[in-house]
């Protein structure tokens, strides 16, 4: 018989972090944002556990470079060629941008080709340890996913491997036999249509709790992927014990994200000389990697057995990525001072999470300038 689990699964908007007296931190400057990660398969990396999504719009060189130079982690999307990635590696080396936290993404389809691509990167462009691989599939439950993961691990024994996406803890242990980081989240993304088209998905807060618990029991790590609306959600993910957070939408409106700025004209409610005032607003394109747009661009069209599980959006232009990254670092550090955590690593130990019906006061939101 089909069962309905009685527990209500929670999302970021259902919770808040309750400030409390902890160790006395005088300033946000005293918070250590960087953390040492000791991975299950033997490697270590250091940084603030934030990734850009491995999507064509934000998994690009310019976004990756900025995150890496801020001590964060970065992915590159899987549609770059070996030579394009190679040239990027070379430019980072000359500009002294650290590459220790850069993840190269591969897909599940044509695994042999994908592994050869990584080997070519190794032989042609000296992509040697430290090296990191992201194996990405919208649905890591499909049969061949585990085989591909095992194959990648057998070929790159010394790599840090992140694999996903999944949305239940039952699969975590199996994946951690080969992977170091499990990417968790199905249906939460801002450009995602999976929940609409398939009815499948799990709210992020409950998912993080469940997967972190299982993964940490065997020294695995998790990355909470998708659904970050506000920087506070990143703080919540860390407080819930997610080791990493991956985000797309919050980076997609920046100068560094791929795509041109699109200008649109808007009629405002203001009237001057009997005419409505027209305003120009700037936008950037952001699309899901399972959208029809992405299928047309990268896979020669939608297969006739598929439905589009992603949308194409024009989202407000937000300016320099540096400003967003600064806000993230400031927000996370400030959260630590509210809960008395001296470092990001300690956030989950210090946080008290409360369930709420109303997390934000939006009364003047439409008057924002
Ligand atoms: P965001 O930060 O924009 O909320 O979410 C980014 C995440 O959405 C990505 O890292 C990825 O996991 C997910 N995603 C990207 N493209 C698609 C898509 O076309 N369909 C679905 N279901 N998820 C997507």
| Residue 321, CA distances (Å) to 65, 204, 214, 331 in order | 11, 25, 34, 15
Write out the DSSP string of 224-269: EES---SHHHHHHHHHTT-SEEEESHHHHTBTTSSS-EEEEEEEEE
In a domain, 1, yes or no: no
In a domain, 29, yes or no: no
Handedness of CA 197, 208, 330, 64 (dihedral sign): negative
335 is catalytic: no
**C-beta separation of 137 from 107 below 8 A:** yes
Tokens 């990143």, located at residue = 234
In a domain, 76, yes or no: yes
In a domain, 197, yes or no: yes
Residue 166 main-chain phi, psi, to 5 deg: -130, 165
The reply to whether ligand 1 has any atom less than 6 angstroms from the CB of 194 is yes
CA of 189 to the centre of ligand 1 (A): 4
The reply to whether ligand 1 has any atom less than 6 angstroms from the CB of 204 is no
**C-beta separation of 314 from 284 below 8 A:** yes
Q: What is the mean pLDDT of residues 74-85?
A: 98
Please determine, for residue 368, whether its predicted confidence score (pLDDT) is greater than 80.
Answer: no
Q: What is the mean pLDDT of residues 224-252?
A: 98
What is the per-residue pLDDT for 153?
Answer: 98
The reply to whether ligand 1 has any atom less than 6 angstroms from the CB of 191 is yes
Digit-coded pLDDT (tens) for 276-304: 899 999 999 999 999 999 999 999 998 88
Q: Please state the atom number of ligand 1 nearest to the C-alpha of residue 247.
A: 2
Mutation to probe ligand 1, out of 57, 183, 191 (largest number of atoms < 8 A from CB): 191
> Whose C-alpha lies nearest to ligand 1, atom 16?
288
What is the per-residue pLDDT for 306?
Answer: 85
Which three-class secondary structure state does DSSP give residue 270?
strand
Please determine, for residue 85, whether its predicted confidence score (pLDDT) is greater than 80.
Answer: yes
In a domain, 151, yes or no: yes
Digit-coded pLDDT (tens) for 87-131: 999 999 999 999 999 999 999 999 999 999 999 999 999 999 899
**C-beta separation of 79 from 298 below 8 A:** yes
Rounded to the nearest integer, the mean pLDDT of the chain is 95
Of 144, 217, 143, give the one whose Cα is nearest residue 176.
217
At 304, list the tokens. Answer: 């006739």
Q: How far apart are CA 356 and CA 236, in angstroms?
A: 13
Digit-coded pLDDT (tens) for 14-46: 999 999 887 777 778 889 999 999 999 999 999
The reply to whether ligand 1 has any atom less than 6 angstroms from the CB of 189 is yes
The reply to whether ligand 1 has any atom less than 6 angstroms from the CB of 172 is no
What H or E segment, with its residue span, contains residue 214?
helix 204-217
What is the per-residue pLDDT for 74?
Answer: 98
Q: How far apart are CA 369 and CA 305, in angstroms?
A: 45
Residue 279 main-chain phi, psi, to 5 deg: -120, 150
CATH number, position 197:
3.20.20.70
The reply to whether ligand 1 has any atom less than 6 angstroms from the CB of 228 is yes
Please determine, for residue 369, whether its predicted confidence score (pLDDT) is greater than 90.
Answer: no
Quote the percentage of the chain above a pLDDT of 70.
100
Structural domains in the chain (count): 1
**C-beta separation of 52 from 257 below 8 A:** no
What is the per-residue pLDDT for 172?
Answer: 97
What is the per-residue pLDDT for 302?
Answer: 87
Domain that holds residue 224: 34-257
In a domain, 179, yes or no: yes
The reply to whether ligand 1 has any atom less than 6 angstroms from the CB of 165 is yes
The pTM (predicted TM-score) of the whole model is: 0.96
DSSP state of 310: B
Catalytic one of 134, 172, 184, 192: 192
Please determine, for residue 268, whether its predicted confidence score (pLDDT) is greater than 90.
Answer: no
Q: Please state the atom number of ligand 1 nearest to the C-alpha of residue 193.
A: 22
Q: How far apart are CA 196 and CA 200, in angstroms?
A: 8
What is the per-residue pLDDT for 260?
Answer: 86
What is the per-residue pLDDT for 147?
Answer: 97
CA of 195 to the centre of ligand 1 (A): 12
CA of 217 to the centre of ligand 1 (A): 27
Residue 150 main-chain phi, psi, to 5 deg: -60, -40
In a domain, 237, yes or no: yes
Please determine, for residue 232, whether its predicted confidence score (pLDDT) is greater than 80.
Answer: yes
- Cβ burial, residue 137 (10 Å; 0-12/13-18/19+): buried
In a domain, 88, yes or no: yes
Mutation to probe ligand 1, out of 53, 197, 295 (largest number of atoms < 8 A from CB): 53
């Amino acid at each position: 018989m089909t069962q309905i689990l009685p527990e209500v699964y929670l999302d970021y908007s259902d919770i808040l972090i309750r400030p409390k007296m902890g160790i006395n931190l005088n300033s946000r400057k005293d918070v250590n944002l960087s953390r040492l990660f000791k991975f299950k398969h033997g490697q270590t990396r250091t940084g603030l556990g934030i990734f850009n999504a491995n999507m064509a719009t934000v998994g690009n060189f310019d976004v990756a470079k900025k995150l890496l130079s801020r001590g964060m982690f970065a992915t590159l999307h899987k549609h770059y060629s070996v030579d394009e990635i190679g040239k990027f590696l070379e430019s980072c080396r000359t500009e002294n941008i650290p590459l220790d936290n850069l993840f190269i993404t591969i897909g599940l389809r044509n695994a042999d080709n994908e592994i050869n691509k990584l080997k070519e990167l190794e032989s042609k462009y000296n992509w040697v340890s430290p090296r990191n691989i992201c194996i990405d599939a919208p649905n890591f439950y499909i049969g061949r996913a585990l085989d591909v993961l095992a194959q990648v691990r057998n070929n790159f024994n010394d790599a840090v491997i992140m694999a996903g996406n999944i949305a239940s803890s039952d699969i975590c242990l199996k994946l951690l036999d080969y992977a170091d980081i499990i990417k968790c989240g199905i249906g939460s993304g801002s450009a995602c249509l999976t929940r609409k088209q398939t009815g499948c998905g799990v709210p992020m807060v409950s998912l993080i709790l469940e997967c972190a618990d299982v993964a940490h029991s065997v020294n695995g790590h998790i990355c909470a992927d998708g659904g970050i609306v506000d920087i506070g959600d990143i703080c919540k993910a860390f407080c819930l014990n997610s080791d990493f957070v991956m985000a797309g939408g919050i980076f997609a409106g920046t100068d560094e994200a791929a795509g041109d700025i699109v200008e649109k004209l808007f009629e405002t409610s203001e009237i001057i000389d009997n005419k409505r005032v027209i305003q120009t607003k700037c936008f950037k394109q952001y699309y899901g990697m399972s959208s029809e747009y992405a299928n047309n661009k990268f896979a020669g069209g939608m297969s006739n057995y598929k439905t589009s599980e992603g949308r194409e959006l024009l989202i407000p232009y937000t300016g320099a990525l540096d400003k967003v990254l600064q806000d993230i670092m400031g927000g996370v550090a400030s959260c630590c001072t509210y809960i008395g955590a001296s470092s990001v690593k300690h956030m989950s130990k210090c946080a008290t999470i409360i369930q709420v019906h109303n997390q934000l006061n939006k009364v003047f939101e439409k008057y924002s300038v």
